[in-house]
Structure 1
């Protein structure tokens, strides 16, 4: 790891109450001392805010009035000496303070380099480093809770506990293979293999839910013109985002907005009504509707309860046949008394992946809460929503992949042990499982993977 001193702006661009310039490395305090003039003379002490000014050392001109915080190694985020300048939150004071640090000898940090140093210096493991970014990017309370739990180290502790067992088992197997002449007391490693496999299985079981809470889902609202798609979007968003009129074909383009549905960030896509049209602009909108539907994770197929099911409804149902679909029987307040039941309509549509049917009235609000609950249940694969205080789910695709591979290797090792396979084959599966789990905590990763992970961070974090 490079031992130079790095600096970056740690707050978003633009105007604000404060702008923070962060510096970390062996020369951070020395470089800061060249720029900072405290109102009261004296050395910069750790964990004490000092009031003063950042001054251009060449001209002596004041750049900004600031507060300076010093955190000496190893009691800092990076476990290096860290200095933070809290400036006025305008672009010029922050940029000129940054330039002063660069002129003093610091290097501009790369994206995620502060967090990378925290990882390389043992302050956090790789799963906690990734959780730092998840905290920043969380869109819902549930997503934030999952990220904070992972940042607290629960996943790392689970993984390290399994790795400790596997290391012990691998040491035993290695001795048996490499030193057959030594008298090693036989061990039944089957029970510990089973326990390790059960732990990994348990972590995997909640991963699909965790991924949904972290990444969310795209949901396309489709149907014929004037069935209430835009009104449904507004109702789910609890705001008048889409224009609604009684005129069919009002929506000419797709409209995307994100809603927080029971802790899941859901991108709702209002689409133009799909039907045969000679209007060029409307046809372009319909093509975009089809494209949005193709990219969606789930479809809300909206059918008008005030009229019989038509051939166009059946056509649109066939367009959604390759993805989970909720049938929304809307305008319940205008329902034709002679109309067939919702069950018979669902049967008539003959949708191969129909996940649920919900009767709604956007005008009265009837059925909307049921729709949200059904939508959340489908997205979570039938599992109950995350309860308060339950924030221990694997939510990172990279972790899910590593756990899946570890599960396969452990299952093979256990099957081999039960079948009395050669011990050297068992050692290979154990080593592979160890390496897969080590990818989660960073104990067995290469520089290429680290570069990929930390390149996703902003500069200054």
Structure 2
């Protein structure tokens, strides 16, 4: 690791009330003492706030009235000596301050270099370091909770626990390699249950990957159905705003409308589509084809039908044309126009992929909360990461998949009573794969690839 002292602007580009210039490295305090003047000018004490002026050392020119906060190693973000200059948030001013710091001996920090140093100095493991970027990019409550759980080490602790169990099994196998005469042959009955439990725990982790991906990217929800059943009204109700034009004329919506919203802090992308029907109108035909493509790319389909004018035969035919593997919620709309409670449409509910039926009024909002909960249930998002940590990064998913495959190979070799040397090879490979999650076994190329995606200043 480079021991240079580094510096960068740590706050986002643009104007703001406060802008921060961060310095890290062995020379951080000396540089700070040259560019900052405070009352008394006594030696800087760690974790205290100093009010003073940022100055040009050569001329004494005051650049800004600012705060300085020093952090002595190892009690700092990077594990090194760190100084933060809290200035007024003018982009021009911050640029002058950071260039001054560079002239006094620091060099420009590379993207993610502060967090890289935190990782290399043992302040964070690799999964926690990735969570720093997730926290910065969080756009919803659920994304924030997921990033915080990763940053606080929920996945790391789970990976460590799995690897500790795995090392215990590996130690047993290697003992039979080194002391085969004293210990005799490996007994599959003694090790197979432990291996099987590990595989099941990895399966549970992988099961969370689908949820993690939806949380990271946003669940895609397609609203489909016949013309004039209230699809655009439902879009507006979900968004809480008049986004789509609503009329009594069938075929009003001719193109796919895509908007973002949240349910219980979970990011969603909803697509309002053209009504599905036979049409001679060329423009409407294009809209209908786009509606079908939107349904094919969705994580969930809301199939809307009109409670006041049901056409179950047509709706059933349309439902059968939609992808069977994508879950569907039946949404009976215009509840406010009924005098008696509606009955569940058994003919539609029996269609492959239909998971629930909800009755709503998109116009009055009746039933929307029930629909929200049904959407979360259909996407398995109702209990985010309460038990098993969520896998939100493809890198983590790949590591768990690799470890699981090596453990399956080891279990097969054990049950076939193959030499323990072969079993040990797969167990070591599984341990190496899991170790990449926290960085214990990560190589330099992997570490470099992760941190190059960070922003400068973190």
What interval of TM-score do these two structures reach, taking the shorter chain for normalisation?
Answer: 0.7 to 0.9
Residue 455 of structure 2 corresponds to 458
Correspondence 1:138 to 2:141? no
Tell me, in whole angstroms, the C-alpha distance in 2 between the residues paired with 1:447 and 1:285: 49
Contact kept? 2:254, 2:283, Cα under 8 Å? yes
Q: Which runs of 5+ in 2 are unaligned?
A: none
Correspondence 1:436 to 2:433? yes
Give 1:336 shift: 9.9
Give 1:186 shift: 7.4
Determine which of 236, 239, 243 is the counterpart of 2:238.
Answer: 236
Residue 148 of structure 2 corresponds to 148
**Residues 78, 183 of structure 1: alpha-carbon distance in 2 compared, 3 angstrom cutoff:** same
Give 1:377 shift: 1.1
Residue 319 of structure 2 corresponds to 317
Residue 421 of structure 1 corresponds to 418
Q: Tell me the secondary structure at the aligned position of residue 231 of structure 1.
A: helix
Correspondence 1:377 to 2:374? no
Q: Deviations over 1:365-398 (max 9, x none)?
A: 3332222222111111xx75349x7684444332
Q: Deviations over 1:288-327 (max 9, x none)?
A: 4444334322221222233242887567535532522222
Q: Deviations over 1:71-99 (max 9, x none)?
A: 12111111111111111122222222222
Matches within 5 A, 1:16-415: 16-174=16-174, 176-177=176-177, 179=178, 183=182, 190=191, 192-275=194-277, 285-286=287-288, 288-309=290-311, 313=315, 316-322=318-324, 323-334=326-337, 342-346=344-348, 351-380=351-380, 384-386=382-384, 392-415=389-412
Q: Deviations over 1:223-264 (max 9, x none)?
A: 344322222122222333334344444445433332222342
TM score, norm. by length of structure 2: 0.87
Tell me, in whole angstroms, the C-alpha distance in 1 between the residues paired with 2:214 and 2:323: 22
Tell me, in whole angstroms, the C-alpha distance in 1 between the residues paired with 2:330 and 2:89: 50
Tell me, in whole angstroms, the C-alpha distance in 1 between the residues paired with 2:216 and 2:266: 8
Tell me, in whole angstroms, the C-alpha distance in 2 between the residues paired with 1:266 and 1:131: 21
Contact kept? 1:307, 1:336, Cα under 8 Å? no
Tell me, in whole angstroms, the C-alpha distance in 1 between the residues paired with 2:455 and 2:433: 27
Contact kept? 1:306, 1:336, Cα under 8 Å? no
Tell me, in whole angstroms, the C-alpha distance in 1 between the residues paired with 2:261 and 2:44: 47
**Residues 249, 196 of structure 1: alpha-carbon distance in 2 compared, 3 angstrom cutoff:** closer
Give 1:355 shift: 2.7
Q: Which runs of 5+ in 1 are unaligned?
A: none
Aligned length: 454
Tell me, in whole angstroms, the C-alpha distance in 2 between the residues paired with 1:448 and 1:285: 46
Give 1:423 shift: 0.8
Give 1:158 shift: 2.5
Give 1:283 shift: 5.5
TM score, norm. by length of structure 1: 0.86
